[in-house]
Each structure stands twice: as C-alpha cells, then as structure tokens.
Amino acid sequence: MLPLKEKDKPVVQKLLSAGCCARCVLRFCSVSVQAAYRQNTLKELQAFISDTENTPEPPEDPPCKRVRLESSVTDAAAAVTQEAEEPRVCVVCLGILQEMCSTTQAVKVRAEKYEFDTMVLSVSLPAQLCVREHSCWLHSQTYILDITDDVIQVKEAFKWVMQGLVAKQLGGVAVVTKSAFEVGVEFTHPETDADCHFLASACPDCFKPTKNKQSVFTRMAVVKALEKISDAKFLKHYPCPPTQPTSSCSPQDVQCLHTSVFVAGRYNKFSRSLPQTPWLIDGERRMESSVEELIAAPLLAAFRADGFNFSSSGREDVDVRTLGNGRPFAMELLKPHKSRFNRAEMKQLQETINVSSDKIRVRDLQIVTREAMSRMKEGEEEKTKSYTALIWTQKPIQREDIIFIDDIKDLTLDQKTPLRVLHRRALAVRQRVIHSMNARFLDPHHFYLGLKTQAGTYIKEFVHGDFGRTKPNLCELLKTDADILELDVESVDVDWPPAIPE
C-alpha cells in the first residue's frame, strides 16, 4: 500500500499522463517512505488512481477544474497501462529510476578487490534533470495549487532502491551514509544535453567558465539559474511537460574509492649517502633510493595502495644521519585496497621494512587518523632537536679554547635563508635559538660539538657562517674559520607517534 492521500490523486494523474515514471510520481508527492520505492510501484499507482468509486467529489471545486480532473483519470490510467506493456523512458529521471544496474555495480566492485565492511553509494547525475524536474513541477502546479512539500531528489530515490540491491549482490554489505569506502556511479544522457542551453542566454551571470570544468552547465549553475528565472520566461523557452526521450540515461562509469589510510612511525637513517626523498636535479636522479621509498615500498604492497604522500617532522640533509629514537614520519596511502591491520600485522610489516635495507630502521609503526598527524607538524617549529657535529678549525686549538662553549645558553641567531636552499625557500631572516652546547676536544684541529636547538635551526650555517648570512656563528665565537665535517641528529623532541613497546 502506497503512502498516498486523496489530495495526491490529481498530481499522480497529471504526472503519469505527462510521461513520468512511477518512482518520479512518488518523488513529486513527497513520499519519503523508502520501502515504497522498492516495491512494484507502477502496479500500486494503477490501483490507486483507478479507485475512484468511493471517492467523494470535492463540493466546492469549480466545474472546469472538475472536468479536467475527471478526464485526466482516464488519460493517466491509459498511460499506466501503456507503460506496463511498453515501458517508456521517464521524461524527468530519463530512466535512472527505471533501469537499476545493481549487478553491473557489484561486478565492478568485486573486480576492484577492495576490503570493506560498509560502503557509501554516491551518484552523479546530468544537470538537465534539474530542468526537466522544474518543468514537471510547473506542469503539476497548473492544476494543483497546494504542492508545498519538498520533492524527493532523484539521488535519494536512486539510493533507496539501489542500496538494498547492491548490498544483496555484495553478500550483505551495509550501505550507509558514512563509510571509508565509496562506490560512485556517473550517469550521462547526450540526447538531452541541450536542455540546459537556453538558461545561458536567460541567466548569463550564472554560467562562468572554469579551468577544471569541461562544461559551464554544472549542476550547481543550473540550479542557480532555475532559482533566478521567472516561470513565464522558463515556459517561453522550454516545453511543459518535457518532451519524451527516446533513450535512457546510461551509467558512464562505476568508480570505487577508499579513503586514505595514514601510517606513522619514527625512522633512523644510518647512511650519509641517502636522501630523505628522491633527489632529482634537472630531471635526473642522483641517488638510487631514499628514506621515503625504502619505507613506502613495503607499505604500498601490504595495503595494496595506488600511491602515497610522505611527510615528516623536519628533514635531514643527504649526508646527515638520524640516530636516537628517530624522526617522526607519516605516510598517506592513497586508495588502499586493504585497510585493516592488527598490531601483530603492523609489527611484522615494520620488520619487513627493517630487513629490506641496512640504511634505515623504523620503529613505532602504527595506523593513525588524519587529525592526529597535526601533532607531528606542531613539533616542526615549536619543539627542540639535539645534534652532534664533528668540527674542523683552521687554527690549532687547545682544550681550554673551547671550554667556554659549554657556558653558552639560549644564544639567539639571525639566519638569512642559506644559499644552498635559496632555490626552494623564500629569502628571509629567521630568528632561531641554540638552547645549549657542549664541546669535546679531539685534537688541535677537531672537536665534537653537541647542540640542543630550536627546531628549524640551520646547524651547518651556524658553524661556518654561510658567508656572514648567519650571525653570530661558530667562526666568530672561536675567532677562526671552522667547518662541519659530520653531523648527526641525536633526537627530535616530538612526543608523537605514541611509543609501542618492543
């Protein structure tokens, strides 16, 4: 039994006569009961409009209107009978709500081999459906003056019908409103593409060319134009009701998309000839691998992802090692086909990364949320980092010459963008603080320098001065030229990601 009232009969009659399908009729009658769209709606409507014997005539209807409604019953019944025998393409939804493609979608989803428990169904519809719906709405208004409820959108009705069919085809997977896995269906109908064109001259301000759109007739632009155009102007340029199409909308493509999975951890780098990310100069690769790639390869294989984005709490130069507890990193895995890993599986994946190369080591590998990644970025400028550097001096030094370094606290530097990174960073003077230092004498020309600094401090430039671009610098403090021979990152003091016991 359809949830329709007596007042809906004239609407049903006029829409069926105009060439609307049964489900579109329910939409115009604001039927929000999802089950109504899944049953044999056409048969139910036929019974509904045929039941006129016990229906009292409205006492105050003007004669002309009564004649129209009585004659329309016959027309509508004939339309229903014709549609039952030879299905016509709906003038509003262009067949989208008539020809359901659940099997096609299910086959496509299974072929992609995604791992999921729930799914979201999304639909992309041709913009001309808005024009056709507006025309039918005006057509109904001509006869029935009290349509006040919102018309159910084609998208909603499509999902109500499809979610049960798709779930059944996929073995009972729940179709929900929010899920990490999305199946998108895009419909096109070239036969009626020109339906929107009259709006461009009627409301030119609504259609602006954009770089990323192939057509100016986007759904949003068409809706905006329909809100702006007067009924009289619309009826002057477009038929009411819409013309009968000869073909149905066809699903152009079925797209499967799983939201990104984020994996975080900390890495050590033991090589002085390994860049953090692929090193390309003038399009030519300079190093055979990178930290990013050594970590990404096993993750991509395990998650069966299509790609990745790598980020970390700062970066070290190619000739700098990262020791201690390592540097926090995170990797966004794009379109992962597998997304569920327990702690034991993540530990095994961590071990796979570690045995693949002796140049790096990963710890605390875990799946995190997108929101949690902000903790890592907060540490790039706010936290501290500790280093050990091997220093060379031009003039011979004694142990006593470097003792004063231990007493320096919270030394503020003015660092102009280093020459070596000027090609990728804006020219600016940045203030950074060296919180403490300690020196360990080796021989008259070498000593180890330990530093605890504000994140973002350029250590190499502090040592050699970068032609005076960093002040003060170690050369000025020692009153001799100095340079850095080796540099190690000892700690990155960002309390993220959470440590996982070994």
Note whether residue 39 is domain-resident: no
Question: Do 246 and 327 reside in the same domain of the chain?
Answer: no
Please indicate, yes or no, whether the overall pTM of this predicted structure exceeds 0.95: no
For residue 55, being part of any structural domain is answered with no
User: For the chain, how far is it from start to end, CA to CA, in angstroms?
Assistant: 63
Residues 298 and 356 sit within 8 Å (Cβ to Cβ): yes
Identify whether residues 303 and 398 lie together within a single domain: no
Task: For residue 36, give the DSSP letter.
Answer: G
Whats the size of the chain, residue-wise?
Answer: 502
Please name the residue that has the structure tokens 């990490």: 180
Question: Phi and psi (nearest 5°) for 182?
Answer: -125, 135
**Main-chain phi, psi angles of 422, to 5 degrees:** -65, -25
25 class by beta-carbon count within 10 Å (0-12 exposed, 13-18 middle, 19+ buried): buried
- Do the domain assignments include residue 65? no
Task: List, for residues 47-93, the tens digit of each pLDDT value.
Answer: 888 765 444 544 444 444 333 444 444 554 555 555 444 468 999 99
CATH of the domain at 431: 3.30.70.3190
Task: Say if residue 183 is in the same domain as residue 134.
Answer: yes
Q: What is the Cα–Cα distance from 501 to 416, expressed in whole angstroms?
A: 42
With respect to residue 115, please indicate whether it lies within any of the assigned structural domains. Answer: yes
> Which stretches in the chain have pLDDT values below 50?
53-55, 57-73, 76, 83-86, 145, 148
User: Do both 250 and 279 map to the same domain?
Assistant: no
**Co-location of 438 and 330 in the same domain:** no
d(CA 469, CA 158): 65
pLDDT of residue 103: 67
Residue 162 lies in a domain: yes
Of 358, 381, 404, the last residue of a domain is: 381
Which residue range is the domain that position 114 belongs to? 90-195+238-257
Helices (H), 291-391: 291-303, 343-356, 374-382
Residue 393 lies in a domain: yes
The pLDDT, as a whole number, for residue 53 is 42
Q: Specify if 354 maps to a domain.
A: yes
CA-nearest of 428, 433, 417 to 467 is: 417
Question: What pLDDT does residue 212 have?
Answer: 65
> Do 366 and 278 have their domain in common?
yes
Residues 347, 471 share a domain: no
Task: Write the CB contacts of 115 (distance below 8 Å, at least 6 apart in sequence).
Answer: 337, 338, 339, 340
Rounded to 5 degrees, what angle do the CA atoms 429, 435, 438 make? 120
Q: Please identify every residue annotated as catalytic.
A: 317
Identify whether residues 265 and 364 lie together within a single domain: yes
Domain finish residue from 229, 257, 285? 257
Give CA–CA dist 341/333, Å, rounded. 14
3-state SS class at 342? coil
Of 363, 381, 399, the last residue of a domain is: 381
Number of structural domains in the chain: 3
Residue 342's CB: how many other CB atoms inside 10 A? 9
Q: Are residues 243 and 315 in the same domain?
A: no
370 & 293 share domain: yes
Does residue 393 sit in the same domain as residue 405?
yes
Specify the CATH number for the domain of residue 359. 3.30.70.2510
Structural domain includes residue 85: no
Cα–Cα distance measured from residue 448 to residue 489, given in angstroms and rounded to the nearest whole number? 13
Alpha-carbon Rg for the chain, nearest whole angstrom, is: 35
Same domain, 347 and 430: no
